């Protein structure tokens, strides 16, 4: 069965379903190519008025890009070129979707991570539920938050974007709404009702307005609690530094449960990833989405030469022992030159 399903409804709604539920719809190169083909055809098709993107299965919308295969490419020049091509195509598709000419409705129910976020963060309507588990977890595999994260994380209130990028922590739907990562919050039980309404909705005019009205009629305030409401002031205080060392010190000196938990979380991340991520986030301020993606491609290409990236993949996705033996044991070992080298065009 195809890993990307698509159909058109009589009212002009085009629906794309990521259909790899056994892998929480993780994105392969072939899936990206098929999504690109469908969207480009629909953009030229005057009968298509809007697009709905969602995932198949009960576990979630999308677990991200299928980067496990990258582990087996290390040391193989031909396979490394395939890895580079994956990043190149993925970022071009994300950029294309960000500026897509027709409204896109994204359903971020269940797991929504990494490359899956990249596909839909540019959609004008992004829906979460009480089942949403959103994350940019790249620091866990010694990578960095890519897919344009330097753009949209900097749009979060305060310094929430730094918290999300540096910790890689998972947040729920309430947090995603608070962070402006999502535009609407619905109960997962209302999604079937929403789909029925969207499939018959009048899309002959005022397309986005009619979509938003239909969604807002079902939207509600989150029934679950998130961490940002209680901790936004502390996040702004403890992440308001230009170096990872200073952020770690501020957290280590904190006496609150949030400070202690966040310090413990950061202490488990890849040191080189932490330093690159903070540098990338700071330098992305004020840049366009396209400009941020250009930097992402430079970084991603250079990370493919970094032994710690493959060690992160091994520990988290291959052997799954969660015990990476990184070359960089702590952030003090990561020099400014190490970071600048990864940011330098190949």
Per residue in 158-196, pLDDT tens?
Answer: 999 999 999 999 999 999 999 999 999 999 999 999 999
Q: How many CA atoms lie within 13 A of 10 on its CB side?
A: 3
Instruction: Say how many C-beta atoms besides its own lie within 10 A of residue 215's C-beta.
Output: 20
Tokens of 35: 């999504």
Residue 17 bridge partners (DSSP): 5, 54
pLDDT score recorded for residue 34: 98
CA distance 88 to 136: 19
Give the predicted TM-score (pTM) of the model: 0.95
Q: b vs e for 276-289, b when ≥16 Cβ sit within 10 Å of the residue's Cβ?
A: bbbbbbeebeebeb
- pLDDT of 346 over the 80 cut: no
pLDDT, tens digit, 9 for 90 and up, residues 189-199: 999 999 999 99
Positive or negative, the Cα torsion across 175, 176, 181, 185? negative
Q: Out of 12, 14, 55, 65, which one is annotated catalytic?
A: 65
Q: Is 148 a catalytic residue?
A: no
Query: Does 138 participate in catalysis according to the annotation?
Result: yes
- Reported confidence tier of residue 23, pLDDT bands at 50, 70, 90: very high
Q: Using CA atoms, how far apart are residues 118 and 108, in angstroms rounded to an integer?
A: 12
Query: Rounded to 5 degrees, what are φ and ψ at 328?
Result: -85, 110
Known active-site residue 115: yes
| CB distance 106 to 123 below 8 Å | yes
Average per-residue pLDDT for the chain: 96
Does the pLDDT at position 1 exceed 90? Answer: no
What CA–CA distance (Å, rounded) separates 115 from 52?
17
Separation of alpha carbons 129 and 131, rounded Å: 5
Q: What's the token pair of residue 122?
A: 């540019």
Query: 270-290, pLDDT tens digit by residue?
Result: 999 999 999 999 999 999 999
pLDDT at 187: 97
Give the separation between CA 104 and CA 124, rounded to whole angstroms: 6
- 146 is annotated as an active-site residue: yes
Please pick, among 15, 90, 146, 311, the residue that the annotation labels catalytic. Answer: 146
- Residue 108: how many other CB atoms lie within 10 Å: 30
Q: What is the mean pLDDT of residues 20-37?
A: 96
* Residue 169 contacts residue 140 (beta carbons within 8 Å): no
User: Which CATH class for the 4-343 domain?
Assistant: alpha beta
Window from 81-85, 203-207, 223-227, 231-235 with minimum mean pLDDT: 223-227
66, 138, 308, 311: the catalytic one is: 138
Choice among 115, 161, 165, 312 that is catalytic: 115
Domain residue limits, the chain: 4-343
User: How much is the pLDDT for 156?
Assistant: 97
Q: How far is CA 228 from the centre of its chain?
A: 18
Query: In angstroms, what CA-CA distances link 217 with 164, 186, 199, 210?
Result: 30, 10, 15, 11
Q: Which among 283, 268, 282, 254 has a CA at the least distance from the CA of 329?
A: 268
Q: Return the pLDDT at 74.
A: 86
pLDDT number for residue 75: 83
Summarised one tens digit per residue, pLDDT across range 76-102 is 889 889 999 999 999 999 999 999 999
Average pLDDT (309-326) is 95
Given a cut of 90, whether residue 73 has pLDDT beyond it is no
Neighbours of 32 (CB within 10 A): 22
């Amino acid at each position: 069965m195809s890993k990307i399903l698509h159909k058109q409804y009589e009212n002009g709604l085009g629906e794309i379903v990521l259909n790899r539920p056994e892998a929480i719809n993780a994105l392969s190169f072939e899936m990206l190519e098929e999504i690109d083909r469908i969207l480009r055809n629909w953009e030229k098709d005057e009968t298509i008025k809007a697009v709905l993107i969602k995932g198949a299965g009960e576990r979630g919308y999308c677990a991200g890009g299928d980067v496990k295969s990258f582990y087996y490419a290390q040391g193989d020049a031909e396979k490394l070129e395939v890895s580079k091509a994956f990043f190149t195509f993925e970022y071009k598709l994300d950029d294309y979707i960000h500026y897509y000419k027709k409204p896109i409705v994204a359903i971020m129910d269940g797991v929504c991570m990494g490359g899956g976020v990249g596909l839909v963060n540019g959609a004008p309507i992004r829906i979460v539920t009480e089942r949403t588990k959103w994350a940019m977890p790249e620091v866990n595999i010694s990578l960095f938050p890519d897919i344009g994260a330097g753009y949209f994380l900097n749009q979060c209130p305060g310094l929430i974007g730094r918290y999300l990028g540096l910790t890689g922590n998972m947040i729920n739907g309430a947090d995603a709404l608070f962070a402006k990562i999502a535009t609407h919050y619905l109960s997962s039980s209302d999604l079937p009702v929403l789909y029925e309404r969207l499939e018959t909705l009048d899309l002959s005019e005022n397309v986005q307005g009619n979509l938003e009205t239909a969604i807002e009629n079902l939207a509600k305030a989150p029934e679950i609690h998130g961490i940002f409401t209680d901790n936004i002031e502390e996040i702004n205080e403890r992440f308001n530094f230009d170096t990872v060392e200073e952020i770690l010190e501020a957290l280590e000196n904190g006496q609150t449960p949030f400070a202690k938990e966040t310090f413990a979380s950061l202490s488990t991340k890849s040191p080189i990833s932490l330093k690159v991520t903070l540098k990338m986030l700071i330098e992305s301020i004020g840049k366009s989405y396209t400009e941020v993606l250009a930097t992402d491609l430079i970084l991603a290409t250079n990370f493919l030469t970094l032994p710690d990236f493959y060690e992160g993949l091994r520990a988290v996705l291959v052997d799954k022992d969660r015990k990476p033996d990184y070359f960089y044991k702590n952030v003090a070992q990561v020099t400014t030159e190490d970071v600048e080298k990864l940011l330098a065009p190949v």
